[in-house]
Amino acid sequence: MSYGNLETLYRQVIMDHYKNPRNKGLKDGDDFYKIHLKNPTCGDDITIQVKIDNGMITDVYQDGTGCSISMSAASVMSETIKGKTVEEAFKILDNYLNMVKGEKFDAELEMGDAIVYQGVAQFPARFKCATIAWKALAQVMDEHNGNCTCDHEE
């Protein structure tokens, strides 16, 4: 496949996630980690909700408004990390950030549709759009790792 065809395929995947976002819409319940992030330069505004059970990401929801890159990336992120452990999700996250920065990344790592964002490396202005949902995920996982949310009885 020539690079041109691959680029077209990647664009189709991105547009599919933009038009048919996965795991869209927030849920009630306080057993979710919830993070809201904004990208003022583009107007992207994203909230993600993540449920982590025994170190496993069991549920992910996302909602917000913004450009096609940020909205599709939120959909892709939710689909990619659901069912992964926090440890696996951190690996995917690191690999994804390296990829969209145009740095060396592991092409063998299973990243689902997230792999289609490698073209972003050629458009540094879109870096924030492609990473806002993933940065929200990073904050969720940091919070999970750093702060136990279980109820401690005195």
Residue carrying structure tokens 């933009």: 18
Sorted by sequence, the CB contacts under 8 Å of residue 68 that are 6+ apart come out as 14, 15, 18
Residue 66 Cβ vs Zn ion, minimum distance, rounded to whole Å: 5
- Residue (68 or 85) nearer to Zn ion, CB: 68
Q: Which residues bind Zn ion (CB under 5 A)?
A: 42, 44, 67, 70, 129
Residue 140 Cβ vs Zn ion, minimum distance, rounded to whole Å: 20
Any bridge partners for residue 38, and if so which?
45
- Residue (109 or 138) nearer to Zn ion, CB: 138
Residue 37 Cβ vs Zn ion, minimum distance, rounded to whole Å: 12
Residues 73-90 as b or e (16 or more Cβ within 10 Å = b)? bbbbbbbbbbebebebbb
- Residue (52 or 69) nearer to Zn ion, CB: 69
Any bridge partners for residue 48, and if so which?
35, 62
Alpha-helical (H) ranges within 35-126 are 68-81, 86-100
Residue 9 Cβ vs Zn ion, minimum distance, rounded to whole Å: 22
First to last CA, the chain: 63
- Residue (32 or 118) nearer to Zn ion, CB: 118
Count Cβ atoms below 10 Å from residue 114 Cβ, excluding itself: 24
- Residue (44 or 113) nearer to Zn ion, CB: 44
Residue 67 Cβ vs Zn ion, minimum distance, rounded to whole Å: 3
